[in-house]
C-alpha cells in the first residue's frame, strides 16, 4: 500500500507540474510575446533584432470611407508584405501591409530619410495625387501604424492636465481661407497661412521596452510605442536637419512641390510595465473611461430598481388572482372575469404564424450567438489586441447555430398548426440572412465605386456565401427536421372552436400604445453603452469594457422579459387574447428606439459629410436594427410564452 501510495503521489505531482508548465506557456493565438535583441548580440530565432512597422487603412470621423495606405501616395515598401488576415479583419476593412519604416533594436537614429515625392501641378497624374492628399488632410484622415501588434499612439496633453493617447495620428491639417485652423493645426502657432495645407511628413518615434535581463528570459519586449507627428520643410533632401519650418502646401499650387518623408527613432527602458499590461496606458487614457464607471453603475441601479418594482407588482397581483380563482366556493358563486375568461382563446394560433416562427428561429440563433460572443469577450479571447477576433467569432458562431434556428422555427410553426413545412424551412434559412446580405452587398457596391479599402473582395463574398449555403442552411434543415419530428407542444387549456369577441379596449391597452411603451424600459438600460459602441464603430475608438457590456446584456434580457410579461398580463386582464405578435413586437420595438438614437447620434455627434458616407451609415445601421429587433423580440416572446403557459396551468379553468 505504501509503494502504491508513493507512486500515486509521484503521478499526481508530475501531472501538476506538467499542467503548471502548460499554463505558464499558454498565450492566446497570435498574442505570444516577441523578444528583441541588439543586432549581433544574442540574436537568434527566439530573439530578433529588426523591428518592422506595419501600416493599416486610413480613416476619418468626417467620412465613412476608409482608404488603403498606398492610395495616398505615401512612401511604400519595396518588398511589400501583407500578413494573413482573418475573416473579421477583412469584413471590418482592415488592410495591414508592411512599410518602409524599419528599425534595429536599440539603434537610435535622427532625421532619417524615407523617400521623396515630387508633384508637378501641370501634370495631370501628379495633380490628382496631390488633390487626393489635400482632400485627406481636409477631412482629417488618420494614420494607423502597428509595431509588434501594438498601435503606435500619439499622446498629447488635454485639459485638466490629463494625457490622451490616440491610436492614430493625422496625415496633416488645413487652415481655412478665413484663417481658422482645423483639427491638428491648432497645436502649432506656425500653422498660420490662410488656405494652406500642412502635411505631417516627419515622425519622432519612441519605443519603450521591458528588459528580461533580471527575469530569466533573453532580450527585451516592447511595451509601448508612441510618436509625435511634425511638419518640416526639407529644402535639401541630401542634407537633412529636421529643424526647419513647417511643410506647407498651398490650396492652389503653381510651382513644383517636393515632399520628403523622414523619421527619428529612440528607445526607452521601463521595467515597471509588464508585457501583459502594455495596452493599459492606451485604454486608461480613453476620454470616456473616467465617466463610464459612474454612468454605467447609475444606469444599472436604475434598471435593477425598476425591474424589482415590476417583479414585485407581478408577483403580488398574480398571487392574489390565482388564490381567488382557485377558491372553489367563490368560483361557484361569482362570475369569471379578467384573464381567466379568455382561457379558451389564449392559445389560438396567430395570424402570419409562419413569419412569426421564422423570426423566432432567427432570433434564437442571434441570441445564442451574442451570448457566447460576449462571454468569450469577457474571458479576454476577443480583446482589441486580437484583431478581427470579435467579428470572426460572431460570424462563425452564427453559421454553426443554424440548427437551433431551424428547430425553434419548426417547433413553433407546428404549434401554430402550420402545414407548409418546406416553405417554413427555406424562409428560416434564407429570409433574414438574405435581407442582411442584400443590404451588405449594396453597401459593398458603394464602397467598390468609391475605391474604399472597406470594400470586401469578391473572393471573400464567395467565401461568406459558401459558409451560409454550405454550413448554415444544411444545419437549419437538420434542426427543422428534428423540430417537425418532435411531438407538438401541448397547451394547458383547450381552444374553443368559435373565437371570443374582444371588448372595446382603453387607449393604454390598445396594441400600438402598448408596443410603443414596451420598448422604453429596455432601451433605457442600453443607451449609455450604445453611445460607446457607436463611438467605437464610427469614431474609431477602442471598445474593451466587455464585462460591463455582458452585465448590461443580462439586464437587457431581464428587462425585456419583465416589461413584456407585464404588458401581456394587462392585455389578458382586458380580455384581449392576441398576445403572440404583441409579445414579440413589445420588446422588439426597442430596435425602433435604437434607430431613432442612431439618427440623433448622426446629427449631433458625427461630422460625416457626403451622400455616399450618409448612405453607408444608415445602410449599416439598418443591419444593426434588424439584428437587434430579432434578438429583443425573441426574448420578449418566450418570456411571455412561458408566463402564459404557467398561469393557465396553475389555475383551475374547468
Q: Answer yes or no: do 101 and 221 share one domain.
A: yes
Domain boundary among 243, 264, 284: 284
Query: pLDDT at residue 404 above 80?
Result: yes
pLDDT at residue 21, as a whole number: 36
Q: Sorting pLDDT into bands at 50, 70 and 90, what band is 4? A: very low
Q: In percent, how much of the chain has pLDDT > 90?
A: 38
What local confidence, expressed as pLDDT, does residue 479 receive? 95
pLDDT at 396: 94
Domain final residue, candidates 265, 284, 303: 284
What is the separation of C-alpha 54 from the centre of its chain, rounded to a whole number of angstroms? 23
Domain check: are 208 and 226 in the same one?
yes
- Domain boundary residue, one of 284, 315, 332: 284
Least confident of 20-34, 88-102, 331-345, 577-591: 20-34
Q: Which residues pair with 194 in a beta bridge?
A: none
Is 383 among the domain residues?
yes
pLDDT over threshold 70, residue 6:
no
- pLDDT greater than 80 at residue 338: no
Round to the nearest angstrom and report the end-to-end CA distance of the chain. Answer: 69
Position 576 scores a pLDDT of: 84
- Reported as a single tens digit per residue, the pLDDT across 37-56 is 988 776 777 788 899 999 99
Q: How high is the pLDDT of residue 331?
A: 47
Q: What is the DSSP string of 177-211?
A: TTSPBPGGGGG-TT---TTEEEE--EEEEEEEEEE
Q: Which residue has the higher pLDDT, 76 or 341?
A: 76
Residues 543-560: what's their mean pLDDT?
85
- Is the residue at 3 inside a domain? no
Same domain, 319 and 385: yes
Q: Is the pLDDT of residue 528 over 60?
A: yes
- Domain membership of residue 22 (yes or no) is no
Residue 284's pLDDT is what?
Answer: 61
Residue 449, number of CB atoms within 10 A of its CB:
10
**Which pLDDT score, from 0 to 100, does residue 496 have?**
81
> What pLDDT shows up at residue 219?
85
Question: pLDDT at residue 367 above 50?
Answer: yes
Same domain flag for 424 and 385? yes
The 10s digit of each residue's pLDDT in 411-425 is 999 999 888 899 999
Distance CA 577, CA 629 (A): 23
Q: Are residues 276 and 296 in the same domain?
A: no
Q: Between 476 and 16, name the one with better pLDDT.
A: 476
Same domain, 243 and 320: no
pLDDT (average), residues 594-600: 94
List phi, psi (to 5°) of 427.
-70, -35
More confident residue, 17 or 526: 526
Q: Per the domain annotation, does 613 fall within a domain?
A: yes
- Determine the average pLDDT of the residues in 547-570: 87
pLDDT in tens, 157-175: 766 667 778 888 999 999 9
pTM listed for this prediction? 0.85
pLDDT digits (tens, 9 = 90+) for 131-159: 999 999 999 999 999 999 889 999 887 66
Beta carbons of 552 and 525 less than 8 angstroms apart: yes
Q: Are residues 279 and 397 in the same domain?
A: no
Please tell me the predicted confidence (pLDDT) of residue 9: 40
Domain assignment present for residue 82? The answer is yes
Close Cβ partners of 4 (under 8 Å, ≥ 6 residues apart): none
**329 with 237, same domain?**
no
Q: What is the pLDDT at residue 302?
A: 67
588 falls in which pLDDT band (50, 70, 90)?
very high
CB atoms within 10 A of CB 78: 8
From residue 327, give the alpha-carbon distance in Å to each of 7, 290, 338, 601, 653: 69, 57, 16, 55, 12
Residue 216 forms part of a structural domain: yes
Looking at residue 514, what is its pLDDT?
86
Q: Look up the domain containing 246 and give its range.
A: 50-284
| 561-574 pLDDT tens trace | 988 988 888 888 88
| DSSP assignments along 519-548, one per residue | THHHHHTTHHHHHHHHHHHHS------HHH
Q: How many CB atoms lie within 10 A of CB 558?
A: 19
Domain assignment present for residue 489? The answer is yes
Cα distance between residue 186 and residue 192, in whole Å = 9
Query: 54, 147 in Cβ contact below 8 A?
Result: yes
pLDDT at position 244 is 80
Tell whether 255 and 314 lie within a shared domain. no
pLDDT surpasses 60 at 511: yes
Rounded to an integer, the average pLDDT of 194-209 is 92
Chain segment 369-379, per-residue pLDDT in tens? 999 999 999 88
- 296, 529 in Cβ contact below 8 A? yes
Mean pLDDT of the chain: 83
Q: What angle do CA 550, 602, 534 make, to 5 degrees?
A: 20
Residue 528 and residue 401 share a domain: yes
Domain membership flag for residue 370: yes
The least confident of 190-194, 257-261, 326-330, 466-470 is 326-330
Co-location of 384 and 423 in the same domain? yes
* C-alpha span between 137 and 117 (Å, rounded): 17
Q: Which helix (H) or strand (E) holds 142?
A: strand 142-143
User: Are residues 184 and 97 both part of a single domain?
Assistant: yes
218 pLDDT above the threshold of 90: no
Domain count, the chain: 2
For residue range 420-439, what is the model confidence (pLDDT) as tens digits?
Answer: 899 999 999 999 999 999 99
Amino acid at each position: 500500500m505504501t509503494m502504491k501510495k508513493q507512486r500515486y503521489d509521484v503521478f499526481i505531482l508530475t501531472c501538476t507540474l506538467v499542467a503548471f508548465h502548460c499554463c505558464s506557456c499558454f498565450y492566446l493565438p497570435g498574442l505570444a510575446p516577441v523578444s528583441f535583441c541588439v543586432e549581433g548580440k544574442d540574436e537568434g530565432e527566439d530573439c530578433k533584432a529588426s523591428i518592422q512597422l506595419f501600416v493599416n487603412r486610413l480613416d476619418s470621423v468626417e467620412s465613412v470611407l476608409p482608404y488603403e495606405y498606398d492610395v495616398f501616395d505615401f512612401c511604400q515598401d519595396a518588398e511589400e508584405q501583407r500578413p494573413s488576415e482573418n475573416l473579421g479583419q477583412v469584413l471590418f476593412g482592415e488592410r495591414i501591409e508592411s512599410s518602409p519604416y524599419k528599425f534595429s533594436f536599440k539603434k537610435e537614429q535622427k532625421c532619417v530619410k524615407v523617400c521623396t515625392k515630387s508633384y508637378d501641378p501641370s501634370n495631370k497624374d501628379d495633380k490628382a495625387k496631390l488633390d487626393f492628399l489635400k482632400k485627406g488632410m481636409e477631412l482629417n484622415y488618420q494614420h494607423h501604424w502597428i509595431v509588434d501588434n501594438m498601435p503606435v499612439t500619439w499622446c498629447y496633453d488635454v485639459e485638466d492636465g490629463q494625457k490622451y493617447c490616440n491610436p492614430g495620428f493625422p496625415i496633416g491639417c488645413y487652415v481655412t481661407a478665413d484663417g481658422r485652423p482645423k483639427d491638428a493645426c491648432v497645436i502649432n502657432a506656425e500653422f498660420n497661412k490662410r488656405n494652406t495645407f500642412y502635411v505631417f511628413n516627419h515622425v519622432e518615434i519612441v519605443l519603450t521596452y521591458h528588459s528580461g535581463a533580471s527575469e530569466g528570459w533573453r532580450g527585451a519586449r516592447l511595451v509601448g510605442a508612441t510618436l509625435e507627428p511634425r511638419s518640416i520643410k526639407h529644402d535639401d533632401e541630401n542634407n537633412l536637419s529636421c529643424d526647419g519650418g513647417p511643410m506647407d502646401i498651398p490650396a492652389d499650387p503653381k510651382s513644383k512641390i517636393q515632399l520628403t518623408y523622414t523619421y527619428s527613432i529612440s528607445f526607452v527602458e521601463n521595467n515597471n510595465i509588464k508585457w501583459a499590461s502594455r495596452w493599459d496606458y492606451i485604454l486608461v487614457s480613453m476620454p470616456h473611461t473616467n465617466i463610464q464607471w459612474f454612468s454605467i453603475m447609475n444606469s444599472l441601479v436604475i434598471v435593477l430598481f425598476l425591474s424589482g418594482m415590476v417583479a414585485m407588482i407581478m408577483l403580488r397581483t398574480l398571487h392574489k388572482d390565482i388564490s381567488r380563482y382557485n377558491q372553489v366556493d367563490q368560483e361557484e358563486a361569482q362570475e369569471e372575469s379578467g384573464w381567466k375568461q379568455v382561457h379558451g382563446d389564449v392559445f389560438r394560433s396567430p395570424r402570419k404564424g409562419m413569419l412569426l416562427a421564422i423570426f423566432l428561429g432567427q432570433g434564437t440563433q442571434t441570441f445564442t450567438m451574442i451570448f457566447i460572443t460576449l462571454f468569450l469577450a469577457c474571458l479576454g479571447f476577443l480583446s482589441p489586441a486580437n484583431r478581427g477576433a470579435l467579428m470572426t467569432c460572431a460570424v462563425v458562431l452564427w453559421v454553426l447555430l443554424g440548427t437551433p434556428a431551424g428547430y425553434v422555427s419548426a417547433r413553433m410553426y407546428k404549434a401554430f398548426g402550420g402545414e407548409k413545412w418546406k416553405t417554413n424551412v427555406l424562409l428560416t434559412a434564407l429570409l433574414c440572412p438574405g435581407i442582411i446580405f442584400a443590404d451588405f452587398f449594396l453597401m459593398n457596391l458603394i464602397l467598390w465605386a468609391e475605391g474604399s479599402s472597406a470594400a470586401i473582395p469578391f473572393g471573400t463574398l464567395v467565401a461568406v456565401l459558401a459558409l451560409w449555403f454550405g454550413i448554415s442552411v444544411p444545419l437549419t434543415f437538420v434542426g427543422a427536421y428534428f423540430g417537425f419530428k418532435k411531438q407538438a407542444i401541448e397547451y394547458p387549456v383547450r381552444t374553443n372552436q368559435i373565437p371570443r369577441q374582444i371588448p372595446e379596449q382603453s387607449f393604454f391597452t390598445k396594441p400600438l400604445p402598448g408596443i410603443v411603451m414596451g420598448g422604453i424600459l429596455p432601451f433605457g438600460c442600453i443607451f449609455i453603452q450604445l453611445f460607446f459602441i457607436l463611438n467605437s464603430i464610427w469614431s474609431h475608438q477602442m471598445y474593451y469594457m466587455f464585462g460591463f457590456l455582458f452585465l448590461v446584456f443580462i439586464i437587457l434580457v431581464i428587462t425585456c422579459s419583465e416589461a413584456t410579461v407585464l404588458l401581456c398580463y394587462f392585455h389578458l386582464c382586458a380580455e384581449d387574447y392576441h398576445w403572440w405578435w404583441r409579445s414579440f413586437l413589445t420588446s422588439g420595438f426597442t430596435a425602433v428606439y435604437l434607430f431613432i438614437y442612431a439618427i440623433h447620434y448622426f446629427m449631433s455627434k458625427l461630422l460625416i459629410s457626403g451622400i455616399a458616407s450618409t448612405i453607408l451609415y444608415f445602410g449599416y445601421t439598418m443591419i444593426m436594427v434588424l439584428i437587434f429587433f430579432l434578438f429583443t423580440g425573441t426574448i420578449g416572446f418566450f418570456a411571455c410564452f412561458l408566463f402564459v403557459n404557467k398561469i393557465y396551468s396553475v389555475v383551475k379553468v374547468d
